[in-house]
Amino acid sequence: MTFLNSLLNNSKEHNNPFRHWELNNPLSDEAIQEIIQADIPNIVDHNLNYDGTRAIDGGAPEFRKGIESGGKAIKFRCFITKDNAQYFPNLVKFINELQSKEVHQTISKMINKDLSNSYVRVEVICDREGFWLKPHCDIKEKLMSGLIFVNNANESEDLGTDFYNEKLEKVKTVPYKNNYGYMFTSGPNTWHGMEKKKIVKERRCIQVNYVTFKTDWKVK
């Protein structure tokens, strides 16, 4: 179990500006390749701009509703579901690991939240030039939040997530290193985001959550 091994043997707990864990080598090489190869449209090619959130699907009405002539709405977000699982067999293995009792109980003890009735949600992300994410705290329905970086394009390590204190002063940046990431549990002072930074090609990563709402992947 690659992720469990990272949790137990390759993670480090931090408490500033809030409690979180940095994870080293949490993904298999095969899962990383699927993240690199995932086909995610570039919003710039569609005359849309990043607005400081991830709610980009349907930034314009024609993308929300589809095109009346019969074209499909363009999806800028890529959640792993049972509908597209055939294209991501190794990420599905990763999800299955997160679903396992051994893993979710381990994380439960770390973050002090009950995950026994939760669902796993994994999203493949590819941010391009112009992306930024305003400081925010995750919704309470996200019991655990995490990001795992895939820096295959030799981008700057400064492209990691910025963590802030309650005064919204930046305290640290989790480095954007390949197969490296972090996790924490949502709370009132878990401010995080990403300031506008230079992305030369792309910033790929996966977002990992245990959530209270239904997804295709209920824990075991």
Hey, where are the domains in the chain? 2-40+77-218
Residue 1 pLDDT grade (very low, low, confident, very high; cuts 50, 70, 90) = confident
Is residue 145's pLDDT more than 70? yes
The reported pLDDT for the residue numbered 99 is: 98
d(C-alpha 150, C-alpha 177), whole Å: 7
Range from 71-85, 116-130, 154-168 carrying the lowest mean pLDDT: 71-85
Q: Which residues contact 158 (CB under 8 A, 6 or more apart)?
A: 173, 175, 176, 197
- Pick the closest to residue 49 from 129, 167, 165 (CA basis): 129
**What's the pTM?**
0.90
Averaged pLDDT score across all residues of the chain: 90
Q: How far is CA 17 from the centre of its chain?
A: 20
Range from 49-58, 92-101, 145-154, 206-215 carrying the lowest mean pLDDT: 49-58
Fold (CATH) for 2-40+77-218: Jelly Rolls (2.60.120)
Residue 72 pLDDT grade (very low, low, confident, very high; cuts 50, 70, 90) = very low
DSSP lists the bridge partners of residue 49 as: none
The reported pLDDT for the residue numbered 121 is: 97
The reported pLDDT for the residue numbered 64 is: 38
